[in-house]
Structure 1
Amino acid sequence: MLPSSWKRDIASGLIVLVPLLVTAYIVAFIYQALARLPFPQGTFENQPIARVLITIVVFALLVLSVGYLMRTTLGDLVEEGLDAIMNRLPGLRVVYNASKMAVETAVSGTEELQAPVKLETWQGLRMTAFKTGKQTKDGRDVLFLPTSPNITTGFVIEVEPEDYTVTDESVEDALTRVLSAGFGESKGPKGIPIDVITEGGDDGDESEDGRKAPATDDD
């Protein structure tokens, strides 16, 4: 058995290094994908950095151009035409509408759109959900209840506004708790660190798992 201090050091090291490694892997994957994009023969063949930079600049200009077009009447007509065409394609329309809604949520969503809430799913059991900013025709709020630790899956639920509680925590804190399967909850009652609660105090007897049992009036 490793000492508890070693376990904490290993956990702290993994918490710092694993996200960095995952981020570096994703950046490297995107870089290699952009570097492999086809260019006119003889153009920047041995200069992958230049190819990547040119691709990013061209994509950024394309995004700005299309975004400017969408602010015009012609842009509205083009978007309606694209939606009409894609919605007539079986199977692909689901992918198109889902990806469009995801981008709209990520880019133009408000704080209310992602506000974390507490939902009592069973008696005495609370779960973390997120507001979507949508409502049903009968006035229920649409919430997303993610699974842990994979937040890309979950449940879309319709709840009466009085049946959930809006919290004052940030989206980052709520996501950290869900992604870490609860281990990201670093504070105990009244903001006392959990390790102080489980290890601290000279009062009380030590239980079988090495924790201090609370003192009683009979001691």
Structure 2
Amino acid sequence: MPETPVLALSGVSAGYGGAAVLEQVSLVLRSGERVAVLGRNGAGKTTLVQAVFNLGPRVAGSVQVMGREVGGWPTHRIARLGIALVPQGRGGFPDLTVMENLRLATLGGRPGTWTLERVFMLFPRLAERRAMLSSALSGGERQMLAIGRALLTQAPLLVLDEPSEGLAPAVAEEVIVTTLGRLAAEGQTVLLVEQNLSLALRLCERAVILAGGKIVFDGASAALLAMDGMLAEHLSV
């Protein structure tokens, strides 16, 4: 039998009030894949993430996570199927320490290989700052903390929403490229929503372009790089 997709969207439309943001979006993500979702501001990228997690927009169509139809489910129940979000803006609890933020992520009890020790090995600076309030961290360190929290949930699918936003290029290279490169080597399934084209296509073997709430490209990253017209029209490259 064919493998059940980790994430499957079919005919998904989503919006707020009377305004449609996504229209008839279909997307399948299989275990071990790394897929980049690209597009200009307002293309519907963040609404796509919110639709998957039921974080606000009205949603029509089918959203399946780990083979389960999750339409209308509360966000925490969707997450427990095995999908973790690294949100735009990092998230986290500013009045808690680094260690307290990380420990909270372990409370779900899902079995897996990620431990506090492994997160500190991946991000040594978090180990150095474990007693600091997360509000005192730099932007790059807060992104490390957000990724560390997601990993500690042991989720098979990691969704990152604009992780390079607000980071200097050198910091994005260190935190995003290096980290996701290591996770890719371990077979981590990743959905990366990103405006940084170069970063996204280096990390993901497959790319999806959203424009006007619709998918206008879904294929190999290498093929997209050769399509100058597509890049210019939809990504302003």
TM-score of the pair, normalised by structure 1: 0.26
* Higher-helix-fraction structure: 1
Higher relative contact order at CA 8 Å, sep ≥6: structure 1 or structure 2?
2
Larger radius of gyration: 1
* Higher-strand-fraction structure: 2
TM-score of the pair, normalised by structure 2: 0.24
